[in-house]
Amino acid sequence: MVRESSQKARILRVAAELFAEHGYHGTGVAQLEAAVGLQRGALYHHIGNKEALLFEISTAQLRVMVDAAHDIETRVADPEERFRELARTLMENVADHVLEWTVHYRDFTALTGPRRETMLDLRKQYEQVWGRALDAGVAEGKFRKLPDPVVLKGILGMFNYSYVWLKREAALPPRAVADVFCDTFLAGIRRPDPHESEE
């Protein structure tokens, strides 16, 4: 069982590399067979089929982030700090799993049927946690209400697109990048503290 799990993990890792480099549609099953050293029957024994492989790769870190987001939501009461922690955790994860996020964002549209629905539901769950952090800030009088829900998608896009350029070894670490993004965005929606003395 352990050996089978490690074999599947190896297949997922190799497939993520191939999909990230060549794209899902640009990677043939024969390519996968050659890269992992398995015949088609053995390969499908571990993964089911090519779309099932894409589904596992493109949702693996999304599931991790949904779980992490729910944990942050439970632990961090302050809306701004919760928003920042969501951002830091996402940027750390993207930096550590660039291949998986590359596959997700480039090829998730190739998923069909229940797999596509599951992936979209995971994305919705994740987005809702961010939305609730902002709503909590509005309710507490700390944030201005966003003019339209689509703005949240734009904010998340700012973070999500980082898979293209984010590097773990860069001078500015992922958590610091997250804080810069948060400083920029939150400055635009933060309400002035009415208790601060005016000069």
Nearest partner of 59 among 113, 9, 100, judged by Cα? 100
> pLDDT per residue over 154-194, tens digit each?
989 999 999 999 988 888 999 999 999 999 999 989 887 65
Helices 40-47 and 50-75: crossing angle in degrees, nearest 10, is 20
Q: Taking 60 as the threshold, does the pLDDT of residue 195 lie above it?
A: no
- What average pLDDT score do residues 60-72 get? 97
- Predicted pLDDT of residue 192: 75
Question: CB of 162 within 8 A of CB of 181?
Answer: no
- What average pLDDT score do residues 8-30 get? 91
Q: 8 pLDDT band (50/70/90 cuts)? A: confident
Question: CB of 65 within 8 A of CB of 126?
Answer: yes
- Rounded CA gap, 130 and 73, in Å? 9
Identify residue 135 by its one-letter amino acid code: D
> pLDDT per residue over 22-42, tens digit each?
999 999 888 888 888 887 777
- What average pLDDT score do residues 78-89 get? 97
- Predicted pLDDT of residue 2: 43
pLDDT top residue among 34 and 129 = 129
Domain 51-189 maps to which CATH number in 1.10.3210.10, 1.10.3720.10, 3.90.870.10, 1.10.357.10? 1.10.357.10
What's the full length of the chain, in residues? 199
Domain ranges of the chain: 51-189
- Predicted pLDDT of residue 199: 42
Q: Taking 70 as the threshold, does the pLDDT of residue 124 lie above it?
A: yes
